Structure 1
Amino acid sequence: MRNTRVGPGICTWIMGRKLKNMEYETQTLYDLECAEKTE
């Protein structure tokens, strides 16, 4: 379980970016991965 792709800091950045961009499908996948690796 390595946080090479998604890190705790990037998680917040992606969540903030998701609010601006309408790429919910793609960004949501990143949020799910981030949540799993963060917790």
Structure 2
Amino acid sequence: MRKRADAETQKEVNVSALFAVLTVIFDHDKMNNSA
């Protein structure tokens, strides 16, 4: 039970990190386009 909860938390952390990376990439692209 405990192990399963940890796995779910890790999945959420991975998703959050993925969105953070995508946001940085898109923001970077926007800056390049407006420059």
- The bucket for the TM-score relative to the shorter chain is 0.3 to 0.5
Structure (1 or 2) with the larger CA radius of gyration: 2
Task: Kindly indicate whether structure 1 or structure 2 has the higher relative contact order, using CA contacts under 8 Å at least 6 residues apart.
Answer: 1
TM-score normalised by L of structure 1: 0.39
